Amino acid sequence: MITQIRDGRPVDLIAHRITPTEAATVAKVLAVEGLRVEPTEPDFEGVVHLWAKQPLGTLGEVRVLRAFRAVTDGPLAFHQAVTPC
């Protein structure tokens, strides 16, 4: 993130938004590791939602978030898959 001062207050700005190509590449690399996620296009607030395609443990979730964080400093939201009862 880039911090700028606006009207005397610090404001964080995204330095690098993830592109659809970058998101697809990260998802493919993670799939090879057995971590299947589907990234969305950034929503109206700039958040990229990462939808797990199968339930992931804590370590899997952390691995996914770190992989995407290595490419972008924009906001991410991870959504865990739910298994039917």
**pLDDT 10s digits, 47-58:** 999 999 999 999
Kindly state the average pLDDT of the residues 3-20: 85
Single pTM value for the model: 0.84
Q: For residue 75, what are the contacts with CB-CB under 8 A and spacing of at least 6?
A: 14, 45, 46, 47, 48
Q: Which helix (H) or strand (E) holds 77?
A: strand 76-79
